[in-house]
Copies of this chain bind each other. A is one copy, B any other.
Amino acid sequence: MNRDELQQVLEYAREHHESFLPGYLELLRFPSISTDPAHQADLAACGDWILAEMARIGLQNVRKIETEGHPVLYADWLAAGPEAPTAIIYAHYDVQPIDPLELWDSPPFEPTIRDGRLVARGVMDNKCGIWGNLKVLESFLQTLGRLPLNIKICFEGEEECGSPNMAPFVAAHKGLLQADVLVNSDGEIDFEQPIQSYAMRGIVSAEITVRCAQEDLHSGLYGGVVQNPNHVIGAIIASFHDADGHIQIEGFYDNVLAIDAEERQRLREAYRLQGAAFEAASGTENFWAESLAPRQERATVWPTLDVNGVKGGYLGQGVKTVIPAEASCKVTMRLVPDQDPEQIAQLLEKHVQQFASDTADVQVRIAAKAWPFTIDPANAAMAAVQQALHTTIGKSAIFTRSGGSIPILGMFQRELGIPMTGLPYGAGGKIHAPNEYLILADFSTTIQLAIRFYCELAKLRPTDF
């Protein structure tokens, strides 16, 4: 593709910035919350809508691939021929739950523009990855009638519930998913200080339930006589960390790889550049577990355990003098190399079962497990991102680890063995929180960036990866 052609594509995307928007608002209106079974039909409708859009812009082999959970959306365009590389694009169309709803300034599924920001659940995480890629591919196809490289698309519908059905999906479709490089569009980008992540943490999520009596009892009559599951769940939660923040599950740290001086220096340098923004976005000035390791290491290369939810008994206004029959909490652990999610899940279960007794039944249900992974920061696809960044905004990304988890990326790496890079469209903030927002002007820039990136990739041969 020559320079003129590239300029035509970039110009098309710029000119259509406004006209791309109504379609994006439609996509954002689907309440595609994958963790909540009540939204199953919304996920299906959202998936069908995206499939129709993929067909409309000229992608081929558009199809919905059913799984035990929400379907995967697949499409490809392979007419660039065997000399051109093949990239498989990953993003997800499911979104996080919306609570606490009362903290949203506008309804989460009624996208609203305020001060140049588009506010909606999923606008960052990760429907911008869906929409951005489709608009990039549309810009090529509308302008030139072709793409500069072969493309496969794999849009997932259950990233936000830990991708419980993706391991069998990937194993069953190795041929279909084979490519020279994986392009991950689930992530954020900060144009002040762009980052390329070369590692993500794994995850184990679990729900712990304590039952004592068979039904709720009056605490004035049975307090001190019948065990209260709220007390047991409190004891379990309190047992997870010591006062310094060290996780107290026996064997938890056994397989954690120590980082070397070079890595430590790289993380320190990255944090020097991005730390202020990271800290400002936390909404606090007082950080936790400071004696364990520097913040940049705790946030990326240390494993964590967080109780994401706890509930038991009366949750409404005022007083209800009840001993509930049941209390529960939800836990996620972020894993680092070389923690094995299967083994960590077993250690958690063993630890928590210490709190079972004849007065308290304790159940641990493992919801999801995913491996941590690292990629080679020097791979050709990462270099293509750097080149596109340099041309688009005159900056290079710094390399660092991400604290987050995208389970399917670890599966791709383990099953398909292909290199990967990140190509995020998420220029905004408040992911997983109320008032999640995308900066519209920056979203336009990410589309320019992506067009340049795909052209950079197209310069490579399949053997270059």
Contact = CB atoms under 8 A, between A and B. Distances in A.
Contact of A299 (B100, B221, B309, B315): B221
Nearest to A315: B311
A95 to B, nearest CB: 11
Nearest to A406: B220
Interface string A50-64: 000000000000000
Interface in A346-405: 357-359, 367-368, 402-405
A236 to B, nearest CB: 7
A317 B36 contact: yes
Given A224-B289, A282-B226, A327-B310, A217 B433 contact: yes
A218 B404 contact: yes
Interface in A236-252: 236-241, 245
A222 to B, nearest CB: 6
A234 interface: yes
A26 interface: no
B100 A216 contact: yes
A309 B230 contact: yes
Contact of A217 (B222, B282, B330, B359): B282
A429 to B, nearest CB: 10
A82 B334 CA distance: 78
Interface stretch (A141-149, A300-308, A337-345, A418-426): A300-308
Contact of A316 (B97, B235, B312, B334): B97
A205 B319 contact: yes
Classify chain A's interface size.
Answer: 35 or more
A104 B315 CA distance: 17
A298 interface: yes
Contacts of A37: 317
Contact of A310 (B230, B245, B318): B230
Given A223-B304, A298-B225, A36 B316 contact: yes
Given A219-B332, A223-B306, A282-B213, A433 B322 contact: yes
Interface of A: 34-38, 96-97, 99-100, 103, 160-162, 201, 203, 205, 212-228, 230-231, 233-241, 245, 278, 282-284, 286-289, 292, 295, 298-299, 302, 304-325, 327, 329-330, 332, 334, 357-359, 367-368, 402-405, 430-434
The 3 closest A-B pairs by CB, nearest first: A35-B318, A234-B237, A238-B238
